[in-house]
Amino acid sequence: MRIDIISVLPELMESPFQTSILKRAVEKKLAEIHFHQLRNWANNKHRRVDDEPYGGGAGMVMMVEPLDLCISDLKSQRNYDEIIYLTPDGETLNQKTANALSIKTNLMLICGHYKGIDERVRELHITKEISIGDYVLTGGELAACVLADSVIRLLPGVLNDEQSALTDSFQDDLLSPPIYTRPEEYKGLKVPDVLLSGNFAEIENWRHEQALKITQKKRPDLLF
């Protein structure tokens, strides 16, 4: 998978891809991340990419031309499965969306800043709008990192234990059951007997029951 990320602050997104699992995914060439500094497509003296909104009002708007030139340049080089604008008014990211994106080949992510982008960029290029939750960030960069992380970890070969993405919380609309490692007892708190029983059918049953119970308690909305 190739992911192109357009931003005025690409340096903000470097470390997540230079650390741990995402770094390994990049090194193993399972994921290719390309950052593009939007200002390089600004055909004006001060490399401006924002301007005042028509009709007045607070905040600046990201201009249509630099974004159109940058996106068009990239589009002329390959076919993109989705051109995603990260915005608080997009559809909220969930596991289903991450799963769907993880089978794509080329994704383009557009990070918004200021009050947002000129509407004509959406009309010309954007195929999908994604938010990472009902709160406002200073820009789309951290949201782009969250989205990329949720997608890259699903790519075959990225996680050591292929099973572990399948048993994630949300993957079957249930939260994960409690887990334990050594010691068997700590400060009087014991690991449930069933987990020490060696009876795998019973363990699976217990885990499923616990997952249902925990989901009912913490996120009943997931059960309907």
CB of 21 to ligand 6GU, least distance (A): 22
Nearer to ligand 6GU, 10 or 139 (CB): 139
Q: Give the DSSP letter string of the chain.
A: -EEEEEES-GGGGTGGGGSHHHHHHHHTTS-EEEEEEGGGG--STT---EEPPTT--SS-EE-HHHHHHHHHHHHTTS--SEEEEEEEEEEEP-HHHHHHHTT-SEEEEEE--TT-B-HHHHHHT--EEEESSSS--SSSHHHHHHHHHHHHTTSTTSSSSTHHHHTSTTTTSSPPPP---S-SEETTEEPPGGGGS--HHHHHHHHHHHHHHHHHHH-GGGG-
Nearer to ligand 6GU, 86 or 108 (CB): 86
CB of 147 to ligand 6GU, least distance (A): 8
CB of 59 to ligand 6GU, least distance (A): 12
Nearer to ligand 6GU, 132 or 174 (CB): 132
Nearer to ligand 6GU, 137 or 214 (CB): 137
Instruction: Report the interface residues with ligand 6GU, using CB under 6 A.
Output: 86-88, 131-133, 135-137, 139-140, 143
Residue 163 tokens, joined: 């099973």
CB of 47 to ligand 6GU, least distance (A): 22
Nearer to ligand 6GU, 9 or 203 (CB): 9
CB of 178 to ligand 6GU, least distance (A): 30
Amino acid identity of 148?
A
